[in-house]
Structure 1
Amino acid sequence: MKWAIVRFPGSNCDEDARFALEKAGIRAEFVWHTAQDLRGFDGVFLPGGFSYGDYLRAGALAAKSPVMAEVRRFAQEGRYVIGVCNGFQVLTEAGLLPGALLANLNLHFTCKEVGVRVERTDLPFTRLYRQGQVLRLPIAHAEGRYYADPETLKRLEGEGQVVFRYAPLGEEAHYNPNGSLNDIAGIVNERGNVLGMMPHPERAVDPILGGEDGLPLFLGLVQEVAG
């Protein structure tokens, strides 16, 4: 497998993404946001950071980058696309995932480990997790509050498109770090091949990073291709 990691002006989790993909046995190459041809790649990773300085809205300018036409083609062909943190914001701004990421309710940049419950295990991204398993993953964002109108939210819940939710770690009382509706931390499109999430699995793939709860997400992609 070979994945493209898109670099926008302001990306800062691109090296983290490459480390995670390569640790799982996936070849990874950086692609500048002006690229217009992603042929030869099996998947696309949109990393976290502050694309275009988060001017206008987080992810809004990056969503207009030339490469996003190719990312859209990837998604339409059923290939895998992952957007984490700023990448999730880009996917919603580009219309590849529904809803929006708004400012955290506390109006502060929040950087800490959170509990993330796995809601589905029938996807390539989650096949190596257990249903209901609570992962320990880091977050680092100021605009991570997931919002969707009531009709869209009902559809997401009804179609099982919510993949990850914030959940308590132990006896933790205040576990939703940003005010996301329904504690939503990550969703997929209807086809199940485009994943957007605010927590960073690529920052939790080795004990030296503090944990390995994110690694199965990438290993699952390898197993999916291997059959």
Structure 2
Amino acid sequence: MKFAVLVFPGLTCDLDMYYAIEETVKQEVEYVWHTEADQLDQFDAVLLPTGTSYGNYLRPGALAKSSPACQHLIAFAESGKPVLGVGNGFHILVEAGLLPGGFLRNVGLKFRSAQETVVVENNTTTFTKDYAQGQIITLPVAHEFGNYYADEETVEELKNSNRIVFTYTNEHTDGSTLAIAGITNEKGNVLGMMPLPERAVEEVIGGTDGSPLFHSILNNWSEQHVN
């Protein structure tokens, strides 16, 4: 399986995502600079790391949405291949229209870095099959705009279609609607999440609860490509 780490200016954690693939599933992985996004169709999955794309000018993900790279990303997602966006990568997926909702500043109006306990609400997705339903995992967060917002209609749609994949265990410190930590698109091949699984793939840096997510992507791909 071949992974692409799609990098926009200001996405500072591309190395973390690259290393997570090398460390967990040990598959081929390449950085793809946003001006080279027309090459995405050569890959089997696209990963959007966190950071501050274009310095979060206007709002997180807003300028990345205007990049021609987003059209290639949208086409890739429409092909049914998996797309994972974490942190600022989640912001970009929302701004690009691949996921619903929006983001506000944290309730405390400050950047927050912490370990969060997260519930796996749906373990049937491409990204979560190696977790147990209802499993509680620990993942780091690092964001100032971690307050996911969705109106009542959108929330009902997400709930009815089982697209809320991760929630925080308690009322979310940063204010996210229904304590939502991660959601998918209708097809289930695009996941956006604020917790950072790529920073939880080794015990020495705080645990390995992020590893099953990457194994899920690989195992799902392997099942579809059995000769």
Task: Judge same fold: TM > 0.5, yes or no.
Answer: yes
Q: Identical aligned pairs, as a percentage?
A: 49
Selected match of 2:193 from 194, 197, 208: 197
Give unmatched runs, 5+ long, in structure 2. none
Q: How do 1:111-130 and structure 2 match up within 5 A?
A: 111-130=113-132
Selected match of 1:65 from 64, 67, 85: 67
TM-score for the superposition, normalised by structure 2: 0.95
2:218 paired with 1:222: yes
Which residue of 1 is the match for residue 5 of structure 2? 5
Which residue of 2 is the match for residue 98 of structure 1? 100
Query: Any idea what SS the aligned residue of 1:61 has?
Result: helix
Which residue of 1 is the match for residue 204 of structure 2? 208
Over the aligned positions, Cα root-mean-square deviation in angstroms equals: 1.0
Per-residue CA deviation, residues 145-173 of structure 1 (Å, 9 max, x unaligned), is 111111111111111110000014xxxxx
Shift of 1:37: 2.6
Distance in 1, Cα, partners of 2:82 & 2:41: 13
2:58 paired with 1:30: no
Higher mean C-alpha displacement, 31-40 vs 182-191: 31-40
> Amino acid of the residue matched to residue 187 of structure 1?
I
Q: How do 1:146-161 and structure 2 match up within 5 A?
A: 146-161=148-163
Number of residue pairs matched by the alignment:
221
Shift of 1:222: 1.2
Per-residue CA deviation, residues 115-142 of structure 1 (Å, 9 max, x unaligned), is 1100011112100101111110000000
Residues 110 and 177 in structure 1, CA contact (< 8 A), matched pair in contact too: no
Residues 204 and 211 in structure 1, CA contact (< 8 A), matched pair in contact too: yes
2:17 paired with 1:17: yes
Q: How do 1:157-172 and structure 2 match up within 5 A?
A: 157-168=159-170
Query: Any idea what SS the aligned residue of 1:37 has?
Result: helix
Q: Which runs of 4+ in 1 moved over 4 A?
A: none
Query: Any idea what SS the aligned residue of 1:114 has?
Result: strand
Give unmatched runs, 5+ long, in structure 1. 169-174
Per-residue CA deviation, residues 73-114 of structure 1 (Å, 9 max, x unaligned), is 111111110000000000000100000111111101010000
Shift of 1:48: 0.0
Shift of 1:177: 2.5
Which residue of 2 is the match for residue 133 of structure 1? 135
Shift of 1:69: 1.0
Per-residue CA deviation, residues 1-39 of structure 1 (Å, 9 max, x unaligned), is 111111111111100000111221221100111122312
Which residue of 1 is the match for residue 88 of structure 2? 86
Distance in 1, Cα, partners of 2:97 & 2:126: 22
Query: Any idea what SS the aligned residue of 1:224 has?
Result: helix
